[in-house]
Amino acid sequence: MNSEHETKRRGMTAEDLLRLRSVRDPHYAPDGTRVVFVEKSIDEEKQYRSHLSMWTEDGSVRPWTFGRWRDTKPRFSPTGEEIAFLSDRSGRAQLWRLPAHGGEARQLTFFKNGVRDYVWAPDGTFLIALTTIGDDETIADREEPEKKEAKPADPKPRVVERLYYKSDAAGFLDDKRPVLVRIDAATGKAEALTSREEEIGSFAMSPNGRTLAFVANRNEDPDTVFTRDIVLLDLESKAETNVTNGCGTFTSLAWSPDGTKLAAIGHDLAYLGATLHRLYVFEPERGTARVLTADWDVHLGDAMIGDMHADAKGPGPIWANDASGLYVTASERGRVNVFFIPLDGPVVPIIEGDFHVYGLAVHPNEQQAVAAISEPTVIGDLYAISFENGAKTRLTTVNEALENEVALADAEPFTYQSTDGSDIQGWIMKPPGLGEGEKAPLIVEIHGGPHAMYGLTFFHEFQLLVSHGYAVLFTNPRGSHGYGQAFVNAVRGDYGGMDYEDIMAGVDAAIRQFDFIDETRLGVTGGSYGGFMTNWIVGHTNRFKAAVTQRSISNWLSFSGVSDIGYFFTKWEVGCDMWEDAERLWHHSPLKYVKQMNTPLLILHSERDYRCPIEQAEQLFIALKQLGRETKFVRFPDANHDLSRTGNPMLRLERLRHIVEWFDRYLTKSLP
C-alpha cells in the first residue's frame, strides 16, 4: 500500500457506500453449465435493488432481470428450463417464474401477505411456499395494490396477550400465522398444507416428492420454550411425524439423494444462546440420529459480522451425490471456510483460506464449486474453486472500478495474551500512505452479539476510518465464535469482566507491537453488545479521548422488559431475572457507573430498534447531560437494530458522517 501507484489512490468515503455491490446466493443449473446469482446494489434514488445475473461456462456474465425492485432467491427448476425467484415487483415478495434461456417473468403467487421462502418439488410439477394468513384470511385472499387513504383510519388500540409480541425485524406482530402451501407449477393453484398457530422455519422436499420436512416450534408455550422440532408431513395422507420431540433446535434441512437421511444444523441448547451449531443426520425410518460434529469444536455456519454481506444467507448443508457426507461452511478464527463432513471419517477442508465464504454452490459433478468470497481488501465476488487443487478463478468483478480507485487497508492478524493468560485474536488496519515514523490515532471496534465474530471480510466502515487517518483495531474477545465452545460461553454471567480485560489487553498489545499507533489518541466504538461494552469501557477507564456507542445496552433492569428478546436474553446472558437478583443486573449495567464517565460520548440509536430499544440510549444521555458531561444524542427515524447493515442508505450515510466527525473533533482536532 506504500507504492507510488497505491499512494495516488484516494481514500474510501462514506458516499462510496452507494457504489458497493454485493453478489450472493449462487445456484447451479442441473447440468452445471450455468450459475444464476443475485447482485444487490443501491440505485440513483438511494434505494436497495437486487437483480438476477447469469454466469455461463464460456465465462460470460449477463444481467437476467432488470427494474426498480428486489429479485432474490433464484433456483433452477429440476429440468433446468425455468428459474423460480422471489420478487417484490407486484408490491410484496411473491413467487415468479422465468424461462432459463431468457424471456418474460410470470407471477405464480398472489398471496395477500406475500411469500417468505419456497422450494421446488423434485419433479418440477409443484413448489412449496411459505406465506402467512390472519384469523380472518385464507390463502385465496389476493394481494391488493397499495391505496392512498382519503383520510386517516380511525385509531385502534393494540391488544397484547402474548409475552413475545414484537420483533426487531418485523415490528409489532400482527397475529398472522405461517402456512406452508403447495402450488401447482403450471396453474398456480394453491393448497394449504399446515394450519397450526406455530412458527415455521426451514423446510425441504424428499427426493421422491412425497414427504415435506419442516421445522416448527410445537411447544405449548413457544414464547418461553425454544426447542424447534423437525416434522415430517406425508403429502398424500397429511399424516405428521415429529422426528425430534423437543431434543433441540434445528434449521437448514437437507434430504440425502436417496431420501433415507435428513440432515440439519442444530444444537441442544446446552449453553442456551451460546451453544455451537452442530451437524445432525436423522434416519426417520430407522428412528436414529447422529451428531456428526460432536467432537469438532467449531461453529457451523456463518458467524461473521460486517456491514456489506450481513443479509446474505449462506447455504445450509449440501449432500454429496453418493450420500457419503455433506459440505458445510464453518466459522473458525476469523474465517468462514468450506468443509466436507463424511458420515464416517475426519473433517476435510475443501475451500480454505483467509477469507469469508458467504455463499456457496457445489457443481453437480462435485469437482468444483462457485463461492461468494470477501476479504478485507476484496469487497466480494464469485469464484470458481477446484476441489482437486484449490485453484481459485474469479468469475465476477462487480466492484472492480471502485477497488482500483480506492486505497484499501489490509487487516494484519496478531495474537496476544489477556490478563489471565488466554490467547485472544485481533487484527490491526494501518492507514494507507502513513509515512515512516508517523503516528496514527487508534479506534477500537467492538462487535455485537456477543456470540458472533470479527474477521477477514470487507468492512466499509473500517475502510472509511483508515481513510481518515485512523488505525483500526478489532478483536474477538471471549464470547466470540470461532474459538470453541468454552470460549464462546465464557462471557455468560461475566459481562464487563474478562471480556473487558480481553479488549483492553488488546489495546496494550497493539501499542507494543505496532509503533505507528499514537497511544495518546485512542477512540472506541461498537454496536449492540459492542455498544454495551463501549459504555462499560468509558465507565471504567478515562484512557479513551472519544467514544461512540451505537444501539447499545445501558441498563439491564429495563432492557429485560422492553427488548423483544430481553425477557429471556437477560437471564441467558447475565444470569438472572430482575426479581431474582436486581442488584446483579444493576452491577452489570453501564448506567450504574455513569458518574465515572468522563470520555466525550456520541450516542447513536434507531427509533424503531426493538432489540435494544431507544430508551436505553435516552437513559444514558439524560444522565450524562445532568452530570454536565460532553455528549450528543443522534436518533435515526424509521430505522431498526440493523441500521448499519441494511438500513436506509441515506441514514447509513448520516451515521457514518457522525462517527467520523466525532472522532475527528476529539482525536485530530480538525473541527472546531
Q: How far apart are CA 321 and CA 449, in angstroms?
A: 36
CA separation for the pair 263, 645 (Å, rounded):
31
* pLDDT tens by residue, 345-397: 999 999 999 999 999 999 999 999 999 999 999 999 999 999 988 899 999 99
Please provide the DSSP assignment of 544-586 as one string.
-SEEEEES----HHHHHHHSTTHHHHHHHHTS--HHHHHHHHH
CA 157/CA 164 separation, integer angstroms: 18
Asked if residue 353 lies in contact with residue 366, where contact means CB atoms within 8 angstroms, the answer is: no
Residue type, 43: D
Handedness of CA 278, 281, 282, 286 (dihedral sign): negative
The partner residues of 368 in beta bridges, in order of sequence, read 386
Distance CA 353, CA 232 (A): 38
The full DSSP string for 7-68 is HTSBPP-GGGGGG--EEEEEEE-TTSSEEEEEEEEE-TTS-EEEEEEEEETTS-EEE---SS
Residue 502 — left, alpha, or beta (φ > 0 → left; ψ -120 to 50 → alpha)? alpha
Cell output for 623 = 444522565
Domain boundaries, the chain: 215-291, 403-554+589-668
**Contacting residues for 408 by C-beta, under 8 A, at least 6 apart:** 1, 12, 376, 377, 432, 463
Of the candidates 180, 63, 207, 189, which has an alpha carbon nearest to the alpha carbon of residue 124? 207
pLDDT of residue 326: 98
472 bridge partner residues: 429, 443
- Which residues, given as ranges, of the chain have pLDDT below 70? 1-7, 146-151, 669-672
The whole-model pTM stands at: 0.95
Neighbours of 122 (CB within 10 A): 15
Q: Cα(426)–Cα(84) distance, rounded to whole angstroms?
A: 42
SS3 125: coil
Whether 641 is a known active-site residue: answer yes
Kindly name the residue from 460, 481, 605, 641 that is annotated as catalytic.
Answer: 641
Q: Which residue has the cell 426493538?
A: 610
CA–CA distance from 270 to each of 291, 341, 451, 480 (Å)?
A: 14, 23, 15, 17
pLDDT at res. 156: 87
Query: Quick one: pLDDT at residue 30?
Result: 96
Q: What is the CA radius of gyration of the chain?
A: 25
Please state, in angstroms and rounded to a whole number, the distance separating the CA atoms of residues 459 and 76. 32
The residue written with cell numbers 452479539 in the block is 449
Instruction: Give the pLDDT confidence score for residue 87 in this predicted structure.
Output: 97
Q: Are 307 and 644 in contact (CB under 8 A)?
A: yes
Taking a C-beta distance cutoff of 8 angstroms, is the pair 356, 309 a contact? yes
**Helix/strand number for the chain, H first, E second:** 12, 39
pLDDT of residue 150: 58
Query: Distance between CA atoms of 188 and 194, rounded to whole angstroms?
Result: 18
Kind of pairing, strands 22-28 and 299-300?
unpaired
Instruction: Work out whether the CA dihedral 90, 96, 101, 104 comes out positive or negative.
Output: negative
What integer pLDDT is reported at residue 408 of this predicted model? 97
Calculate the average pLDDT of the chain: 94
Quickly list H helices, 418-471: 460-467
According to CATH, the superfamily of the domain at 403-554+589-668 is Alpha/Beta hydrolase fold, catalytic domain (3.40.50.1820)
Q: Which of 22, 528, 554, 589 is catalytic?
A: 528
Per-residue burial over 610-641, b = 16 or more CB atoms within 10 Å of its CB, e = otherwise: bbbbbbbbebbbebbeeeebebbbbebeebbb
* Residues 6+ positions from 359 with CB-CB distance below 8 Å: 23, 24, 25, 26, 37, 312, 314, 315, 371, 372, 382
Q: What's the chain's length in residues? A: 672
Report how far residue 228's alpha carbon sits from residue 200's, in angstroms, rounded to the nearest whole number.
9
At 457, list the grid cell: 471480510
Q: What is the pLDDT of residue 670?
A: 44
Give Cα 156 distance to the centre of its chain. Answer: 35
Phi, psi of 459 (to 5 degrees): -135, 105
